[in-house]
Amino acid sequence: MAKTASWKPECDKHGETMIIIHDRKGLTELLRIDADSLDGADLMGANLENANLVQFSLKHADLRHANLQHADLRLADFSDADLSGANLMGADITGTIFLNTNLAGALLPVKND
Protein backbone atom coordinates (compact mmCIF):
# COMPACT_ATOMS: atom_id res chain seq x y z
CA MET A 1 0.00 0.00 0.00
CA ALA A 2 1.52 3.33 -1.03
CA LYS A 3 1.86 6.00 1.66
CA THR A 4 3.03 9.54 2.21
CA ALA A 5 4.42 11.25 5.27
CA SER A 6 0.98 12.78 5.84
CA TRP A 7 -0.91 9.53 5.27
CA LYS A 8 -1.41 6.77 7.76
CA PRO A 9 -4.35 4.54 8.54
CA GLU A 10 -5.96 5.50 11.81
CA CYS A 11 -8.29 3.65 14.13
CA ASP A 12 -11.51 4.99 15.57
CA LYS A 13 -12.56 4.38 19.17
CA HIS A 14 -13.87 0.92 18.22
CA GLY A 15 -10.57 -0.13 16.63
CA GLU A 16 -11.91 0.08 13.07
CA THR A 17 -9.36 1.15 10.45
CA MET A 18 -10.07 4.34 8.52
CA ILE A 19 -8.33 6.58 6.01
CA ILE A 20 -8.48 10.34 6.37
CA ILE A 21 -7.70 12.51 3.35
CA HIS A 22 -6.43 15.99 4.14
CA ASP A 23 -5.86 19.09 2.05
CA ARG A 24 -2.41 19.88 0.64
CA LYS A 25 -1.39 21.71 3.81
CA GLY A 26 -2.62 18.92 6.07
CA LEU A 27 -4.86 21.26 8.03
CA THR A 28 -8.34 20.40 6.78
CA GLU A 29 -9.94 16.97 6.74
CA LEU A 30 -11.65 16.50 3.37
CA LEU A 31 -12.87 12.92 3.60
CA ARG A 32 -12.94 10.07 6.11
CA ILE A 33 -13.33 6.52 4.80
CA ASP A 34 -13.83 3.39 6.89
CA ALA A 35 -11.28 1.23 5.06
CA ASP A 36 -7.67 0.20 5.21
CA SER A 37 -7.06 0.86 1.49
CA LEU A 38 -8.38 3.14 -1.25
CA ASP A 39 -7.95 0.43 -3.89
CA GLY A 40 -11.41 -0.15 -5.35
CA ALA A 41 -12.94 2.66 -3.28
CA ASP A 42 -16.22 4.26 -4.37
CA LEU A 43 -15.40 7.99 -4.43
CA MET A 44 -17.86 8.90 -7.18
CA GLY A 45 -18.61 12.63 -7.05
CA ALA A 46 -16.32 13.21 -4.05
CA ASN A 47 -15.08 16.77 -3.47
CA LEU A 48 -11.32 16.32 -3.12
CA GLU A 49 -10.31 19.82 -4.19
CA ASN A 50 -6.77 20.58 -2.94
CA ALA A 51 -6.44 17.02 -1.60
CA ASN A 52 -3.07 15.54 -0.71
CA LEU A 53 -3.03 12.16 -2.45
CA VAL A 54 0.75 11.92 -2.95
CA GLN A 55 1.75 8.26 -3.46
CA PHE A 56 -1.75 6.99 -2.68
CA SER A 57 -2.85 3.77 -4.37
CA LEU A 58 -6.31 4.18 -5.91
CA LYS A 59 -6.27 1.16 -8.23
CA HIS A 60 -9.74 0.22 -9.53
CA ALA A 61 -11.24 3.20 -7.64
CA ASP A 62 -14.45 4.83 -8.89
CA LEU A 63 -13.76 8.57 -9.11
CA ARG A 64 -16.35 9.42 -11.75
CA HIS A 65 -17.26 13.11 -11.62
CA ALA A 66 -14.96 13.66 -8.61
CA ASN A 67 -13.56 17.15 -8.04
CA LEU A 68 -9.76 16.83 -7.89
CA GLN A 69 -9.02 20.46 -8.78
CA HIS A 70 -5.60 21.57 -7.54
CA ALA A 71 -5.08 18.19 -5.84
CA ASP A 72 -1.55 16.91 -5.28
CA LEU A 73 -1.55 13.58 -7.12
CA ARG A 74 2.21 13.14 -7.51
CA LEU A 75 3.20 9.46 -7.83
CA ALA A 76 -0.36 8.29 -7.11
CA ASP A 77 -1.48 5.07 -8.82
CA PHE A 78 -4.83 5.25 -10.64
CA SER A 79 -4.35 1.98 -12.58
CA ASP A 80 -7.69 0.64 -13.85
CA ALA A 81 -9.55 3.47 -12.06
CA ASP A 82 -12.53 5.30 -13.54
CA LEU A 83 -11.95 9.07 -13.65
CA SER A 84 -14.51 9.76 -16.37
CA GLY A 85 -15.96 13.25 -15.98
CA ALA A 86 -13.57 14.08 -13.12
CA ASN A 87 -12.10 17.59 -12.79
CA LEU A 88 -8.29 17.50 -12.54
CA MET A 89 -7.68 21.11 -13.58
CA GLY A 90 -4.67 22.54 -11.77
CA ALA A 91 -3.80 19.15 -10.24
CA ASP A 92 -0.15 18.10 -10.00
CA ILE A 93 0.04 14.78 -11.87
CA THR A 94 3.85 14.52 -11.93
CA GLY A 95 4.72 10.82 -12.06
CA THR A 96 1.08 9.76 -11.62
CA ILE A 97 0.23 6.31 -13.01
CA PHE A 98 -2.80 6.21 -15.32
CA LEU A 99 -2.43 2.64 -16.69
CA ASN A 100 -5.76 1.52 -18.24
CA THR A 101 -7.50 4.46 -16.53
CA ASN A 102 -10.80 5.71 -17.97
CA LEU A 103 -10.33 9.46 -18.49
CA ALA A 104 -13.27 9.96 -20.89
CA GLY A 105 -14.68 13.45 -20.44
CA ALA A 106 -12.23 14.29 -17.64
CA LEU A 107 -10.90 17.84 -17.40
CA LEU A 108 -7.13 17.47 -17.42
CA PRO A 109 -4.43 19.94 -16.37
CA VAL A 110 -2.73 21.74 -19.27
CA LYS A 111 0.71 23.34 -19.17
CA ASN A 112 1.17 26.40 -21.36
CA ASP A 113 4.94 26.84 -21.69
**Assigned domain for 100 exists:** yes
**Residue 111, pLDDT score:** 67
- Average pLDDT of the chain to the nearest whole number: 89
**Assigned domain for 97 exists:** yes
| Residue range(s) defining the domain that contains residue 33 | 1-107
Mean pLDDT, to the nearest integer, of 32-53? 95
The set of residues, in sequence order, having a beta carbon less than 8 Å from that of 32 and lying 6+ positions away, is 18, 19, 20, 21
Domain count of the fold of the chain = 1
CATH number for the domain including 63?
A: 2.160.20.80
pLDDT higher than 60, residue 29 = yes
**Assigned domain for 14 exists:** yes
**Assigned domain for 113 exists:** no
pLDDT higher than 90, residue 73 = yes
CA atoms within 13 A on the CB side of 104: 4
**Residue 110, pLDDT score:** 76
**Assigned domain for 112 exists:** no
**Assigned domain for 61 exists:** yes
pLDDT higher than 70, residue 4 = no
